[in-house]
Amino acid sequence: MDINISTFEQLHNVCISNNKSIYEIAQEVMATSEDISVNEVRSFARRSLFAMKEAINSGMQSKELSMSGMCGDDCAKLQKRFEKENSMFGRLFEDILEYALATSEENIRMGTIVACPTAGSCGILPAALIAVSREYGYSEEEQINALITAGEIGRIISIKVALAGAVAGCQAECGTASAMAAAAVCQLRGGSVRQILNASALALKNLLGLTCDPVAGLVEVPCVKRNPFLAVHSVTAVELALSGIESKIPIDEVIDSMAQTGALMSPMLKESSQAGLATTKTGLKIKKQVFGEK
């Protein structure tokens, strides 16, 4: 399928005119552009899915701290609590939180993760996709469909906005990851093309303006804990979308707004650690502890 899709409106129209889902269109377009088969596209997605599951499994079994000593044992703390007392929201909620922390903590230990779309936001999509899949028994093929759907969401967003905190703040990283996760879960739950795009819009719209202000310049505080928060955020967007609740602002316009917000955001709040949480009294104290007086 030789089609150049650069907006969500185009994606929606192509899906409807061909009576196909987002993942079907995305895998066909990728196969054509890379001169490979659809099966090869799906094999690549399968390897990514396997790596996501491996990161979760490794992260769930480790308490090793990062080199800075700031993070690394939060998932273990969460597991210990849930062994004694169930979450107020049930087992699926527990899994999402644990999987997101496990993956993010694997990243800060320099373990193998899938950047989706970035390393700092690597726990959001896997946590939501895999936890929901295990809860409802979705097959590997269904999970691959969801992953390809998420990838297409990230690809189109990246056309207008560079997915880096240094360019547009954390809205471009964790915000995009949450939109991708919402798309994946909505696909799993049987959402229509319109509902999937709407879920992504709802997720991203409510994260506009999220700054990137890492303490000591490391992708740890507040990055690690943002992953479980925003994995749950993505599922909230899906529940709304599947109920017929829509974003009044179409997703293409939400992306335009994110690009504008990123351009207006101070460079001091875009991964430079020159403002925000990074320059609080405690943030500066931590930096000194990690790197010394200088």
- Please tell me the predicted confidence (pLDDT) of residue 180: 98
Q: Which domains does the chain have, with CATH numbers?
A: 8-291 (1.10.4100)
Read off the pLDDT band of 240 (50, 70, 90): very high
pLDDT band at 293 (very low <50, low <70, confident <90, very high): low
Residue 3: per-residue pLDDT: 85
Q: How far apart are CA 182 and CA 83, in angstroms?
A: 28
Average pLDDT, the chain: 97
pLDDT at 2: 73
Query: Alpha-carbon distance 68 to 289, whole Å?
Result: 9
* Contacts (Cβ under 8 Å, ≥6 apart) of 89: none
Q: pTM here?
A: 0.97
At 101-156, the pLDDT tens digits run 999 999 999 999 999 999 999 999 999 999 999 999 999 999 999 999 999 999 99
Helix (H) or strand (E) holding 235: helix 223-242
Q: What is the pLDDT of residues 66-99, one digit of tens each?
A: 999 999 999 999 999 999 999 999 999 999 999 9
Cβ pair 130, 96 in contact under 8 A:
no
CA–CA dist 276, 4 (Å, integer): 40
217 backbone φψ class: left, alpha, beta (φ>0; ψ -120 to 50): left
* pLDDT beyond 90 at 23: yes
Q: In sequence order, which ranges of 73-175 are alpha helices (DSSP H)?
A: 74-84, 91-108, 124-136, 140-160, 165-168, 170
pLDDT of residue 237: 98
Q: Look up residue 64 and give its DSSP letter.
A: P
What is the average per-residue pLDDT within 211-222? 98
Per residue in 177-208, pLDDT (tens digit) is 999 999 999 999 999 999 999 999 999 999 99
Query: Is 174 within 8 Å of 208 (Cβ atoms)?
Result: no
Whether residue 41 is predicted with pLDDT greater than 90 in this model: the reply is yes
